[in-house]
Amino acid sequence: MSSNSPQTSGRSGASHGTWISLIAAIAFGLIIGACAQNQQGSVSSGATPIRPSTPAAQATKPAQPTQPAQPTPPGQPGAGAPPAQPGPGDPAKGKQLFQTLACNTCHTAPGMGSAVIGPPLTDIGTIAATRRPGYSAGQYLVESITHPNDFIVTGYQPNLMPATFATLPPDQLNDLVAYLASLK
């Protein structure tokens, strides 16, 4: 068989076309996957976050609770007993901690962007005491930081906020709560 036979050149052309189709399909899949991930709230650095489209998610008035995402052990916040009142804290240190812990990646706060993965906190100091009956503003904020799935603001999904903040040292928790309580 000669190297110029139709069979050899046809196979090479089909192979080249198959590779191009395969690469195009992979690229298309990656683009669609990235778009779907961005719509679910996973925002890469420098990207503009997607705003929730539901009116409940955009509301700034106090929202009603939904069911806890996971059962809470008896005696823990969310199991019927509010957490202890926070101690005194330093709002300036709390603001710095808010940035250090990257809370502003998901929550809007004055002068810190417009992320909307979690509820906006621009006036949380005013509305915190109205979110859970029987809770003070400080108790609500402590629970929201340390046990974020015990109360989910209407229009937002459970299990988005890391539960790792339950281990914050008391002084840092108090500073963070003092900062949030100052947002009115």
Q: Map out the domains of the chain as residue ranges.
A: 1-39, 55-181
Q: Which of 19-28, 56-65, 77-86 has the highest mean pLDDT?
A: 77-86
Identify whether the C-beta of residue 62 lies closer than 8 Å to the C-beta of residue 149. Answer: no
Selection from 145, 126, 123, 146 nearest residue 137 by Cα: 126
CATH superfamily, domain at 55-181: Cytochrome c-like domain (1.10.760.10)
Q: Render pLDDT for 60-84 as a digit per residue (tens, 0 to 9).
A: 333 444 444 444 443 344 555 789 9
Q: Please report the DSSP string for 35-99 in residue order.
A: HHHHHTT---TTPPPPPP-SHHHH--SPPPB---SSPPPTTSBTTTBPPPPP----HHHHHHHHH
Distance CA 171, CA 102 (A): 18
Count the helix, strand and coil residues of the chain and give each as a percent rounded to the nearest 5: 45, 0, 50
- The pLDDT of residue 164 is 87
**Mean pLDDT for the stretch of residues 128-137:** 94
Which of 148 and 39 is assigned the larger pLDDT?
148
Classify residue 153 by its DSSP letter: B
- The pLDDT of residue 97 is 96
| pTM of the predicted protein model | 0.57
Question: Residue 112 — very low, low, confident or very high, per pLDDT cuts 50/70/90?
Answer: confident
Give Cβ neighbours of residue 123 (< 8 Å, ≥ 6 apart): 60, 183, 184
**Mean pLDDT for the stretch of residues 91-115:** 92
Question: Residue 163 — very low, low, confident or very high, per pLDDT cuts 50/70/90?
Answer: confident
